[in-house]
């Protein structure tokens, strides 16, 4: 089974605040997995997001995946 990341882990990988990570996930700028009320991100989806966005200054303006 593929690794699922918590929002705090996404924040660390992207080097952003946890608040910004939660906002990005709430806006679904990348695919998310919901487990009840929990939100997780597949590692492969985060890797794809990083490859596709590169160094954009505001990734939250991207269309939903």
Q: Are 63 and 22 in contact (CB under 8 A)?
A: no
- With bands split at pLDDT 50, 70 and 90, how would you rate the model's confidence at 65? very low
> pTM of the prediction?
0.79
pLDDT at 23: 94
Provide the edge-to-edge strand list for the sheet that holds 4-5: 4-5, 38-42, 33-35
pLDDT tens digits for range 20-62: 999 999 998 999 999 999 999 999 999 999 988 875 555 555 5
pLDDT at 54: 74
- Burial degree of 60 (CB within 10 A; 0-12, 13-18, 19+): exposed
């Amino acid at each position: 089974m593929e690794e699922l990341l918590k929002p705090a882990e996404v924040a660390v990988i992207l080097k952003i605040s946890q608040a910004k990570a939660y906002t990005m996930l709430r806006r679904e700028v990348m695919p998310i997995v919901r487990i009840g009320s929990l939100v997780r991100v597949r590692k492969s989806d985060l890797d794809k997001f990083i490859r596709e966005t590169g160094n954009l200054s505001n990734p939250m303006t991207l269309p939903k995946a």
